[in-house]
Every structure is written in structure tokens, then in C-alpha cells.
Amino acid sequence: MRAGRAFISLNITLVGFVWLAHGQIAETQWNRDGAARWAEIAVPPVGNPGFKRIPSSQTGIGFTNTLDALASAANRVLENGSGVALGDFDKDGRLDIFLCSLEGRSALYRNLGGWRFEQASGRLPGIVSKFICSGAVFSDINGDSWLDLLISTIGHGVLCLGNRGDGTFEDVTESAGTRSGFAAMTMALADVDGNGTLDLYVTNYRTSDIRDQGRIDVQRVNGKVMLAPSLRDRLVLTETGILEFGEPDILYLNDGQGRFKPVSWTEGTFRNESGDPLAGAPVDWGLSATFRDINGDGAPDLYVCNDFWTPDRIWINDGKGTFQAIDRFAIRHTSENSMGVDFSDVDRDGFLDFIVLDMRSRDPALRKRQASAQTQITASLGGLGIRPQIMRNVLFRARGDGSFEEIADYSGVSASDWSWQPTFVDVDLDGFEDLVISTGHSRDVQDLDATAKIQALQHAWPREMDRETQQRAFTREMMEHGKLYPNHESPIVTFRNLGNLKFEETTKSWGTEALGVHQGMAFGDLDGDGDLDFVVNNLNAECGVYRNESIAPRIAVRLNGLAPNIQGIGARVKLIGGAVPSQVQEMVCGGRYLSGNEPLLVFAAGGRKEGMIIEVTWRNGNVSTIHNVRANRICEVFELASK
């Protein structure tokens, strides 16, 4: 399709529904004007920046993602938890919730309005209960305008549930082609090759960790320690010990009908910094990934967060679906145990910045009692090809020349405890996006005192004991040892963006101080007042449903693209003339730690009541411009075919 400016003059009145304050529904009129339709939003008259947790007694959502101690000891991979997806699956105008479970109890909740939800899991095929579900995202993968549901699982890849259009789902995994034997984690979707379809990237971790098996078989050959043949593709011996590989991620291309084909890692789609095809698939510990236009050329680039010793991968897209590793000198170091990533123009200078999370404690005293989870890998000092991994959060500010400077310490966000997902969201609607971070772990496994006690208690199991009996005994021992580690619950950490590259912590004043193991987290407008609420999947505790309490003027934007990318994923949306001269965000799908947001963007209107402009640059280069935008409206922008 030829790129160009698409705008026609229309003025159509449509009957629909508008949400009133905190979820009441009333019939109203939508107005269509040009390439958009809009409706007024009823903003609550009283409130303060921040969030309020809505109790399950009101919402009806008592979901708990349960993981017992024995299962955790047998497979520590499960402690990475599960996520949540938000989407209006039945097209009734209200945002619904899907929560993943590690024990086959994943749940779908239908939004009734007024912060009330009903259990709707019966609309899902029974196969969902057979899987350990880690992540989820709602996405229209076949372009029929109904949201399908993708679920990542431990050991079976991605489960695809097709929306029948009657409020129910069917299992279409086999025809979709997304089943694998890997431990699928976070999913991200974008039109990577520019053909209008939503392609799928899946990060894979490991179905199990070798440390939970009790014994690693090694051999001594001519005085040299060697791994057993069965482990040589899984482990590597280094000068400092044994390291385990993860599993290769998968990029799937969509044919537009919801059928996916995996892309080879070695046939040229992925290339190294020099532009050469890769020699093999990276076997990383993939936790999360997101598509975002990092270099501003309109194509979705890819940032992949990898755990432990495996490095993050940053792939720059040529616009046609070929990815090249970012220049070695563009980014000089990364986090060590990268969990989640998010992007924002933090200082509103027109360039995209980003943050990656690790597990550094906010409490300096606690840091001294913890062992560093820093992998010790020998490297020559001063080597220009080295990109060190550092165990803390990293915040990268774009310089505007394709390179980034790292400023987390300067900005005050280098530590947020054991962290999973950062989300840039303008909580106080002042024009600068703040940070909301899900954190927590069931145990502080870095505690040095507990580690010393455990080492004193450990013993070698007799070699004559059969392997199965030994494994059961080892698992029970690990379960008992785990009880010696301190509780490591923590709050959902929030930081207010001060607009000068500095952040201040606002966890208590913004209402997210409750302790827990907060993992997958998704944002969306659950009550229709035009700001972003959120749901968080908590381990061994009820999920959290949080209402945004802000009353500042706002503009909410949805996109309605041409088929098959109905949701306008990958489009760049700019508000001109709001709380700050220009606010820019990108419509994304998935790409949150194990989770997927509603495809809705919210901008700060500030003191301007009217006369603002929305400019949408679609993935294919078309541009839609909406004039005379007024505050406290939701605006749905349509992509119009070029003539």
C-alpha cells in the first residue's frame, strides 16, 4: 500500500455506550468526524494521583496463582510465576481479564461494569486446564476483528485459542503451528515484515533447571573433567564452574489467517553486528521481549531480556523482517538478570528511551546481606567487544545518534528489589510517563546467612541409591532448605517522573505499598474513565485489581487499522498541544512480562480543553491527522485506504 496522508471529511452520529465514573454505563452518542470517532469521558470529580486496590468482595475475582513448596523445590522455573492479559473478547465495550495458573486453574473473567466481574472460564476449551500456563495475550491473529487468546505454557509452547465470535473460544493450536516442547514465557506481536499481519515472537526459558536434579554427571578423561555426553548440549564447563544453556526463542511469521511458520535462526533473518547470518540459534534463558521502533524508522525492532549469564539481544529491523544485532558500541552494558523492559520518551526530547529490570534491593543494608547474583565470566579487561552485564536496573537515554547513555543511578531508579515488569504510564497525567514496577519473590535466595546454614546441612546421597529415589530425597531436602531463606515479598514499586531525567519514589503515596510476590501485570481502562488501571497476578495470594484515581484531564486513543492488523499495532501516535508540546507513544501487543495490555494509549491534556491534534503514523507509513481534539474524550482513529 502506498504511503500517504489519509483524511476525509465525515460527520456521523452513532449510538453507543459511554462509561461514567468508576464503571457505570449509560447510552450516549458517538460522533464521527473525519478519520475518527469520539465520545465524552466522565472523569471522577474527586481523586488523587495513584491507585486504589479494589477488594475481591467487590470485583468477584478471588483468583490465586498457587504454587506449593514441593512443586517449587522440584522445579524452580515455576517460581517465575504467571501473567495476565486484558482484552474485550466479547465486544461488549468492557475490558475482560484472563489470569494464568501454574496448576491448571487459569481463569477468564467477564467485565459486567461497576467493578464487577463474573467467572467465564467455561467459555474456554477444557485443554487449558491441562497446562502449566505462564503468559497470555489477547490479539486478533486472523484479522476477523475478534480477539483471540494466546497462552504460553511450560513444556508445550504456545496454546492458540480462536475466538468463535459468539463469546467462546476453540483450540486452534495445531492449525496455528505454535506447539513446541519449550518453556514459553513472554509473547510479543508486531508486523515485522510489513505485510500487514501480526507476527509472533516467543521467549523460551527452560522446562527445568539442572540444579533441581541433585546430581550432575561428569567424567574424567585423561585427567580432564568432562561432561557426560547427554549433557554436552545443555551445559558448558568454564573456569569458574558449570553454566547451563537456556532454550532458543522462536519468531513465527503469520500468513494473515492465524497460521504461523517458525523462522530459521541461521538462514539470514537474524544477523550479527557485521551483517553476517548467525551460525546457530542463541540458547538463552528468555524471560521477556518487546517490539518497539528503537531507531525511529517505522519498523518494529526487538529487545529480548535474558536471565542469568546469557546476554540480552537487541535486534534492529530493516523494515522487511531482517534483524541485525545493534551496533556493539550503541549500548555498552546491560542488566545481568534481565526480567522485563519498557520504552518511553522519558524526557520528551523526541527519542525513545528504555529501562530494563534486575533484582537489586532498594535497601543498602539488605544488599550487604545478599550474595550477588552476578555470573563470574572471565573476560579481558578493556576489550572493545565486551558488553558487561551488571546486576542492577539500567535506564538508557537515547542520544539521538543511534547510541544510548546509561543513567539509572543518576535518575534514581537503579534499584527496585526483585523486579519483573516495568511499565511506563503517566499516572499523574502531567505529560511525563512514570514507572510502575511489579516486584517480589517467595524467598530471598541471595541471603548469605541462610546459604551458609544450607551448605552446612547438605550431604552427598549414596551412589548406590537408585536415581529416582535419590531425586525424591533431594527434592524434599531442597524444600526444607528453602524454608531457611527469609520471605522476600515486596511492594509494587512506583516512581514519579519529574521531567528532568530524575524520578522520585511514590510507592506509598500512590497506593501500591502492599507486600506480595507481584509478577505478570497488565494495564487497561477497566472502568471506562479514560485512564489506565491494572491487574497483577500474585504468587500464592489473590490477584490485585487496581483502579487509577487520577482526575486530571486526559485523552484516550484507540486505533482501528485496515485488515488484517485491525488494532493498529506498531503505529506511532502523537498528541500535539497537550500538557507538554508533544507526547508520543507506540501501540504494542504483548511484550510485557508474561502479560498483555489493552491496546489503548492515554495522553495528558493538561490545561488545554480543545484545539489539540492527534497524529497517527501507521505501520505502513500512512498518516491520519485528527484536528480540534478536546480533553476528556476517547478517540478511535481509523486507518483509511490511500487513493
Residue 586 in 3-state DSSP?
Answer: strand
Provide, rounded to the nearest whole percent, the portion of the chain with pLDDT above 90: 74
pLDDT at 374: 53
Give the contacts of 349 (CB within 8 A, at least 6 positions apart).
398, 400
* Beta-strand runs (E) in 125-166: 133-139, 148-153, 157-163
Averaged over 110-122, what is the pLDDT? 97
> 420 vs 101, 359, 395, CA distance in Å?
17, 8, 15
Residues 136 and 138: their CA atoms lie apart, in Å, by 7
Residue 50 in 3-state DSSP?
Answer: coil
Task: Give the H/E segment covering residue 190.
Answer: strand 184-190
Q: Grid coordinates standing for 568?
A: 493498529
Give the contacts of 129 (CB within 8 A, at least 6 positions apart).
104, 105, 106
> 166 vs 121, 123, 632, CA distance in Å?
14, 10, 32
Residues 198 and 567: their CA atoms lie apart, in Å, by 10
pLDDT at 19: 44
Residues 50 and 96: their CA atoms lie apart, in Å, by 22
* 305, 313 Cβ separation under 8 angstroms: no
Give the contacts of 525 (CB within 8 A, at least 6 positions apart).
19, 95, 531, 532, 533, 556, 598, 600, 602
Residues 163 and 139: their CA atoms lie apart, in Å, by 10
pLDDT at 464: 63
Encode pLDDT of 379-437 as tens digits: 444 455 578 898 899 999 999 999 999 999 999 999 999 999 999 999 999 999 999 99
2-6, 246-250, 406-410, 460-464: segment of lowest average pLDDT: 2-6
pLDDT at 643: 59
| Cell 491527522 found at | 625
Residue 274: phi and psi, rounded to 5, are -90, -5
Whether the predicted pLDDT of 629 surpasses 90 = yes
Encode pLDDT of 166-217 as tens digits: 999 999 999 999 999 999 999 999 999 999 999 999 999 999 998 888 767 7
Cα Rg of the chain (Å, integer)? 24
Residues 570 and 395: their CA atoms lie apart, in Å, by 23
